[in-house]
Structure 1
């Protein structure tokens, strides 16, 4: 059974009017531009679908449980379906700013749920930062995403060293530094560092197209998942996403010694 008392509650201040921010958190094109590809029927009771990878098992259906534009939307698994629910609220803060609040409920008890909870807290932090970047630099535009993951049978620290060495980039760059991937077989990738912390680098991209990029490593028990996630805009971005998605997946598999699973979980 889910434990409604345990929830993830996060917020981020972003630029934009409530209507502009609503598009980003409540519609398919908006959510796809900073999270994972989504389709949303824009009405209460409408169907929703989140794509966490290429396989059919990675297509996660849901429902629009609450639709109250431009202030509140809630997604869940459907009527009578237990599991996770995601409530988003948009609160205007004046001067073309809004506070976006997420309440993620429906977690169960036990070690497996504990690990999922911890992983989602970390993941939501990253995605909400991407939402902030999207609203600041690309509001109203729709990104084409590239979301490969490669698995490493070892520690997070080891995977981070292997990944950054293979990419030919510093493991701890300074904010404001421009870095460019220099790796045999990897597609072109370059941008300015807007955030860097343990196991992650966030880029405002200029190659292969304008957009945002995340070089990250997540922990999965005895394994680690290394990601190069890209959100690309404009015609060049769409073309690059179609061209480079499989290339990045294959590159990660080779760089980490095999084991890339093609998912974002």
Structure 2
């Protein structure tokens, strides 16, 4: 949908998803560092003397850290924060999260991004957030459906290569052995790839084919999210794994170096690792 503009100059987008869980369970997933790290990116909070977050720090990758100042806190219904993620010359961005209970043991999660501007200079960034959240909300839904509240350890690896994007994507998924699988099918890595198996929860759509979401059985119960996207003059390939259970941290310590070495062999260079997130 286009960016919504009101008479005050506020420009905004919003995205929502229905997920399983009580408001308290969903709140833990979207409003605490361990919860957010279990399905999104490694996140921590700085809390005041009463344990209320005052800052949220999220690590999207090397050079892509976000710091947001909490401006409202009303558990388990809503919270808001403000950041300068668009840069020093851009207006601050306000982000609001809402949790609304529904019948049948589900909740609607809604996120709203907004800023004040008298031009459309920042609309593409707002639209980018709007189009990006549905991918991550699928991870949130999987997490709350299968792994809610479990200890989580995760890692993310990123590599860059030359265009085109579809060719880079084929190199990634062909190398793992996932090239021909469809949504709902069981998959298992082949060749010299580190061992991984599970069920494909989503394969990319015609509008964006270079994405895959797998609910893992090995190396541990978890979620793998793979995608390729154009970034400047290069293609970014991302491999993120969230692993759950009491042994998840040990499995991540073993698997992350193996995947980093494998990814580096497919895309020569030194794949970047995002600081691993671990929750209890």
Q: Would you say same fold, with TM above 0.5?
A: yes
Distance 1:90 1:157 in 2: 37
Q: Is residue 2:244 matched to residue 1:233? A: yes
Q: 1:63 aligns with which of 60, 69, 79?
A: 69
Tell me which residue corresponds to 2:278.
none
Q: Aligned pair 1:86/2:92, yes or no? A: no
CA offset at residue 222 of structure 1? 2.8
Matches within 5 A, 1:51-130: 51-53=59-61, 57-77=63-83, 82-106=91-115, 116-117=125-126, 119-130=128-139
SS in 2 for 1:212: strand
Please list, as runs of the form range in 1=range in 2, the aligned pairs for 1:1-265 lying within 5 A after superposition. 5-41=10-46, 46-53=54-61, 57-77=63-83, 82-106=91-115, 116-117=125-126, 119-171=128-180, 173-184=181-192, 186-197=193-204, 198-258=209-269, 260-263=271-274
Count of residue pairs the alignment pairs up: 255
Q: Give a deviation string over 1:81-125, Cα, whole Å, max 9, x none.
A: 8433321100011111100001123498788x5664454344322
Provide closer, same or farther for how the CA distance between residues 180 and 118 of structure 1 changes in structure 2, counting only shifts above 3 A. Answer: farther
Bigger share in helix: 1
CA distance 1:157–1:190, shift in 2 (3 Å): same
Distance 1:52 1:95, change over 3 A: same
Which runs of 5 or more structure 2 residues have no equivalent in the other structure?
A: 276-280
Structure (1/2) with the larger strand percentage? 2
Moved more, 44-53 or 192-201: 44-53
* Residues 182, 84 of structure 1: alpha-carbon distance in 2 compared, 3 angstrom cutoff: farther
TM-score normalised to structure 1 length:
0.85
Q: For residues 205-231 of structure 1, give each alpha carbon's deviation from its aligned partner in whole angstroms, at most 9, with x where no partner exists.
A: 001100111121122243211122111
Give the root-mean-square deviation of aligned CA atoms. Answer: 2.6
- Residues 36-90 of structure 1 show CA distances to partners (whole Å, capped at 9, x for unaligned) of 111124666612211223x5x4443222221101110112238xx8433321100
Q: Judge conservation of contact 2:11–2:114 (CA < 8 Å) in 1.
A: yes
The structure having more radius of gyration, on CA atoms, is 2
Distance 1:174 1:38, change over 3 A: same
